[in-house]
Amino acid sequence: MLTLRGAPALSNFRNQSQLSRLQEALPSIEGVYAEFVHFVLVDGKLALADADKLDKVLRYGPNVPVQEMSDNLVLVIPRIGTISPWSSKATDIAHNCGLQQVKRIERGTAFYLATNTPLTPQEYEIAAALLHDRMVEQTLTSLDRHKVCLCKHNLLR
């Protein structure tokens, strides 16, 4: 499975709005940056031209500079065991672009929260609750943990 960083997920306006919401609950949060993360299940190895094509397909979103990431990650992903509508459409687009080795693409949003100190488990739970819809999404604290979840629960199979 490939894990690919994507474009920033929030426009400047939405980023500021999200920061204000978070700061109301957790004043220690000084900043927030969100970017898409793509998880791609491929059959075999992609040729260089196909990898470049996949990269171009997955470049979208607001025209905001990419930022460096902080330590406090809240990774929002579709609930394990589900296939998001975004995934179905993105996989179809990849196939229409000739990327037949791509079996499935799923997308998450990585929220990086800037603070002076790492979030406590309680603060993390508060932030996670504000950043995802618990009916259709779940949160994780690391990209590595997400890979384990994807494989364990066959999300990308």
The verdict on residue 135 lying in a domain is yes
How many domains does the chain contain in total? 1
Pairing between β-strand 31-42 and β-strand 72-78 as defined by DSSP bridges: unpaired
Q: Which residues contact 141 (CB under 8 A, 6 or more apart)?
A: 73, 74, 75, 124
* Local confidence pLDDT in tens for the 157 residues of the chain: 899 988 889 888 999 999 999 999 999 999 999 999 999 999 988 999 999 999 989 988 766 666 666 678 999 999 988 999 999 999 999 999 999 999 999 999 999 999 988 889 999 999 999 999 999 999 988 776 545 444 444 444 4
Do the domain assignments include residue 144? yes
Residue 97 lies in a domain: yes
CB burial of 73-102 (b: ≥16 within 10 Å; e: otherwise) equals bbbbbbeeeeebeebeebbeebeeeebebb
Asked if 54 and 46 touch (Cβ cutoff 8 Å), the reply is yes
- Domain of 108 in residue numbering reads as 2-152
Longest CA–CA span in the chain (Å) reads 48
CA dihedral 98, 103, 106, 110 (to 10 degrees): -90
Q: Is residue 124 part of a domain?
A: yes
Is 157 part of any domain? no
